[in-house]
Amino acid sequence: MQPRATPAAAGPAWSPLREKVFRALWLAQFVSNVGGWVQTVGAQWLLVGHGPALVSLVQVAAGLPVLLLALPAGVLADLVDRRRLLLGLQAAMAAAAAVLTALALLGTLGVWSLLLLTFLLGCLTALGGPAWQALQPSLVPREQLRQASALGAVNMNLARAAGPALGGALVAAAGVDWTFAVNAVSFLGILLVLLRWRPTAQTPRRGQEREHALAALRAGGRYVRNAPSVRRILLRSALFVPGAAALWALLPVAAVQRLGLGPSGYGVLLGAVGLGAVLGAAALPRLGARLGATGMLALAGTLTAGALLVVAVSRDATSAGAALAVAGAAWIWGLSTLSAALQLEVPNWVRARAVACYLLVFQGGNALGALVWGQLAQRAGLTAALAVPAGLLLLGVVSLRGLPLLNGRADPALSDTWPEPRLTVEPAPQDGPVLVTATYRVAVPDAPDFTRAMAAIEASRRRTGAIGWGLYRDAAAPERFTEVFTVSSWAEHRAQHHDRYTGIDHEFERTARRFAAEDPVVTHAVAARPQGL
């Protein structure tokens, strides 16, 4: 399969901010992200005297919960009202940050209590991550998803610039304790926006059944396993994020040990990252249209590796700041390319679960990368700890020739074109397993093309709920083919018809049926149970 071209972004880089709700949430998240970085500076500065390994544990504690909670969080975000879920989580995060502030002001905040509360905040963030990203396509037009993803990354990086600068000034003026207080207050903006927002209620689709948690978890995993483009996006994330994480994990150590800077100087370095992020976001639509998704990832990986090498050898704050500005732009390009590719591929019914898998790779790569590079810096020195991930990033760039990013083809909109089953008696939702057969009549010369087209049908059936699939050719009548697949329950099969069948699934179905002389004969059989038992 050839790489698919990424469609050019519609509108200027800042066009999603014209949407009222997106703009309000973007600004509120910016305030919250600034608060988070103010706290991170305080936490890292509190621990910087304990060595690079312990400093890197701040990022590990914040990111590691995704490894534990991303998949359950994705299931939760697909099953419950996302707005209410986010309201509850934001309130809980504000409460946890208030406890951290109280301990700091009382002088009882120790190293491990700081890491424990950071881990708790990371857990709450992990539970809300899939819901935040799954909301995005409902806030902006589909053609602006790339810009919206870029603006999300700009938000993080502007906060990465403003937050540490504010945090450094606050540490110098008032002490570490007040950085925790700023973070606690920063959650209030998101709470207010979510309380005032009243999203349009969606009418349940005909035949839609509420999924149970374990079934939903299995369905999400089944979808990702049978979606090659989604698996490729996850692979490219795994090849980009851990190497790039070295810069963010070890920058405080480089600022102190290599450049001899204090908290204000560290904030200025991160200000350079934020400036690069803004310039990178402004250039994204034009660059993305010219280079495509694979080209953007190659550029992002190459520039990030170069920035790591400059920081590894430089003892001059000016050259390091210039490299960090380049890294800020590259980070924007890498993240927005990966995130937009995923949003464009995945239908709404499983979006949060697919996003959860992406966040599992992304945040897990950040956390594990930070842990590995922190330990390497402790044992082999800062230069080696920055040069090794730079080499890994360059290897990832080289691998793009054989493993390009695939995106831009899927139509994730739901389709009602799958015919309704003709039944005498409607089974109960929990009845099953359900055996579905479809018998096709195909001219013998068209049989090879038909079987190749049915390979895409197999992936479609498995993505939408099939737990088993097969295609059989009648030995006595070689023009007759029978497709057989099994679904765990009647509710799952009804979901295949109404809740999970998308435009790309219909395209695969139409391609295969072009080789058939007539519409297939379809039967539905429900597992028989002994009576009276």
pLDDT at 412: 59
Contacts of 145 (CB under 8 A, 6+ apart): 136, 137, 340, 343, 344
Helix (H) or strand (E) holding 526: strand 521-526
**DSSP bridge partners of 487:** 434, 466
| Structure tokens belonging to residue 250 | 């070890």
The answer to whether the beta carbons of residues 220 and 71 sit under 8 Å apart is: yes
Q: Strand, helix or coil at 147?
A: helix
The candidate with the shortest Cα–Cα distance to 29, out of 165, 161, 154, is 154
Q: How far is CA 225 from CA 399, 454, 458, in A?
A: 22, 18, 12
> What whole-number distance in Å separates Cα of residue 167 and Cα of residue 361?
29
User: How many other β-carbons are positioned within 10 Å of the β-carbon of residue 445?
Assistant: 8
- Options 3.40.50.720, 3.30.70.890, 3.30.70.100, 1.20.1440.230; which CATH number does 434-526 get? 3.30.70.100
> What whole-number distance in Å separates Cα of residue 346 and Cα of residue 70?
17
> What whole-number distance in Å separates Cα of residue 133 and Cα of residue 146?
13
Low-confidence stretches of the chain (pLDDT < 50) are 1-10, 203-208, 407-408, 532-533
pLDDT at 407: 47
User: How many other β-carbons are positioned within 10 Å of the β-carbon of residue 394?
Assistant: 18
pLDDT at 468: 92
pLDDT at 532: 46
User: How many other β-carbons are positioned within 10 Å of the β-carbon of residue 35?
Assistant: 26
> What whole-number distance in Å separates Cα of residue 380 and Cα of residue 175?
32
pLDDT at 49: 60
The candidate with the shortest Cα–Cα distance to 249, out of 35, 34, 63, is 63
pLDDT at 530: 57
Chain position carrying tokens 């590894």: 312
Q: Where in the chain is the domain with CATH 1.20.1250.20?
A: 15-198+211-399
pTM (2 d.p.): 0.73
> Any long-range contacts for 24-27 (C-beta under 8 Å, 24+ apart)?
24/193, 24/197, 25/139, 25/190, 25/193, 25/194, 25/197, 26/151, 26/152, 26/155, 27/189
> What whole-number distance in Å separates Cα of residue 297 and Cα of residue 294?
5
pLDDT at 12: 67
The answer to whether the beta carbons of residues 406 and 4 sit under 8 Å apart is: yes
pLDDT at 298: 94
> What whole-number distance in Å separates Cα of residue 122 and Cα of residue 232?
27
CA dihedral 114, 116, 122, 124 (to 10 degrees): -120
pLDDT at 487: 93
The candidate with the shortest Cα–Cα distance to 344, out of 287, 256, 291, 411, is 411
Q: How far is CA 4 from CA 217, 231, 304, in A?
A: 29, 15, 25
pLDDT at 432: 82
The answer to whether the beta carbons of residues 178 and 281 sit under 8 Å apart is: no
Helix (H) or strand (E) holding 396: helix 382-399
The candidate with the shortest Cα–Cα distance to 465, out of 222, 227, 271, is 222
Contacts of 329 (CB under 8 A, 6+ apart): 276, 277, 279, 280, 283, 303
Q: What are phi and psi of 435, to 5 degrees?
A: -105, 120
Q: Where in the chain is the domain with CATH 3.30.70.100?
A: 434-526
CATH topology of domain 15-198+211-399: Growth Hormone; Chain: A; (1.20.1250)
